[in-house]
């Protein structure tokens, strides 16, 4: 690409020389792009910039916060994105919402392939940032994160089957199931108390069949939120090869000192 105009959000940055930084940009046009540009680009703000380069590491120039996208460069199907972007308030994300936004950024830059366009996920990310600018209680905040993770897993090709186990037998409400990310839900012939002991002593993720049935029927709601949180945390950890998330560590430290 040569002086191609991009719109996106900064996911992560690292110092690069005295006045420049290495940026990980989640662009509307090309997905995640790595580039070098002048220091100072903000997080959680829609940026417009120009990218040049044929290799994986681009050169970013003229980085600015934008409030609109030129309609001459987009198709009719993308009009809704323009309207949404123009109507967004750009107040900074603060408090516990900031830790949540950092979490979204971290799982994106660590899990997404480079230069793979994902316009639908990009829109969901933008919508999530809009939600995180609003006053949210704890459950609303967790719902926002779980819903975004759902779209992320879909984009990565992880469609979880909650109605059948790993051998395609129907999930039974009174049976316990151990979740293995590459296999699915495997039945374990134990009662609920024994399953909780197995989970605490082996670090395995175990669900009662009734919990999985509720998740399949109700989706991500306040009633099923704890179960989805447990399932998605296990899947995220698996995809990251159980390497720690810095945003999660920051959040835990913040809560410890409150």
Domain of residue 119, CATH code: 2.40.50.140
Average pLDDT of the chain is: 86
- Going from the C-alpha of 61 to that of each of 3, 19, 21, 213, 220, the distances in angstroms are 8, 13, 12, 51, 41
Q: Considering its fold, how many domains does the chain have in total?
A: 1
CB atoms within 10 A of CB 119: 15
Q: Does residue 57 sit in helix, strand or coil?
A: strand
pTM: predicted TM-score of the whole model, two decimal places = 0.84
Strand (E) or helix (H) holding 208 = strand 205-208
Say whether pLDDT at 257 is over 80: no
Determine the Cα–Cα distance for residues 50 and 28; give it in Å rounded to an integer. 13
Q: Residues of the chain with pLDDT > 90: what percent?
A: 71
- Residue 117, token pair as written in the block: 């366009």
CB atoms within 10 A of CB 114: 13
Per the structure, the complete domain to which residue 41 belongs is given by 4-156
Q: Is residue 209 part of a domain?
A: no
Q: Does residue 148 sit in helix, strand or coil?
A: helix
Q: Is residue 116 part of a domain?
A: yes
Q: Is residue 250 part of a domain?
A: no
Q: 38-81, pLDDT tens digit by residue?
A: 999 999 999 999 999 989 999 999 999 987 443 333 333 333 33
Q: Is residue 45 part of a domain?
A: yes
Q: Which has the closest alpha carbon to 151: 112, 171, 181, 121?
A: 121
Q: Is residue 141 part of a domain?
A: yes
Q: In sequence order, which residues have a C-beta less than 8 Å from that of residue 235 and are 6 or more positions away?
A: 153, 158, 160, 181
Q: 70-117, pLDDT tens digit by residue?
A: 333 333 333 333 333 333 444 578 888 999 999 999 999 999 999 999
Interior angle at CA 26, CA 23 and CA 31, nearest 5 = 120
Q: Is residue 100 part of a domain?
A: yes
Q: Does residue 191 sit in helix, strand or coil?
A: coil
Q: Is residue 139 part of a domain?
A: yes
Query: How many helices (H) does the chain have, and how many strands (E)?
Result: 8, 8
pLDDT at residue 251, rounded to an integer: 81
């Amino acid at each position: 690409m040569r002086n191609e105009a991009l719109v996106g959000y900064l996911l992560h940055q690292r110092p690069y020389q005295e006045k420049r930084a290495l940026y990980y940009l989640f662009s509307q046009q090309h997905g995640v792009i790595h580039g070098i540009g002048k220091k100072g680009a903000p997080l959680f703000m829609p940026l417009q910039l120009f990218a040049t380069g044929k290799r994986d590491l681009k050169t970013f120039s003229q980085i600015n916060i934008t409030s609109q996208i030129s309609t001459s460069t987009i198709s009719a199907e993308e009009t809704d994105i323009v309207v949404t972007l123009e109507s967004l308030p750009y107040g900074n994300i603060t408090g516990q919402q900031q830790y949540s936004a950092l979490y979204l950024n971290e799982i994106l830059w660590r899990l997404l392939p480079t230069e793979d366009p994902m316009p639908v996920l990009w829109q969901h990310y933008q919508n999530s940032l809009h939600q995180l600018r609003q006053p949210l209680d704890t459950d609303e905040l967790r719902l926002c994160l779980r819903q975004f993770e759902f779209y992320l897993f879909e984009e990565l090709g992880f469609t979880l089957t909650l109605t059948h186990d790993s051998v395609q037998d129907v999930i039974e409400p009174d049976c316990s199931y151990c979740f293995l990310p590459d296999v699915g839900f495997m039945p374990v012939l134990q009662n609920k108390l024994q399953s909780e002991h197995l989970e605490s002593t082996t670090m395995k993720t175990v669900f009662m069949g009734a919990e999985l049935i509720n998740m399949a029927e109700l989706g991500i709601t306040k009633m099923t939120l704890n179960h989805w949180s447990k399932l998605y945390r296990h899947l995220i950890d698996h995809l990251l090869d159980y390497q720690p998330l810095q945003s999660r560590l920051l959040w835990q430290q913040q809560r410890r000192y409150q």
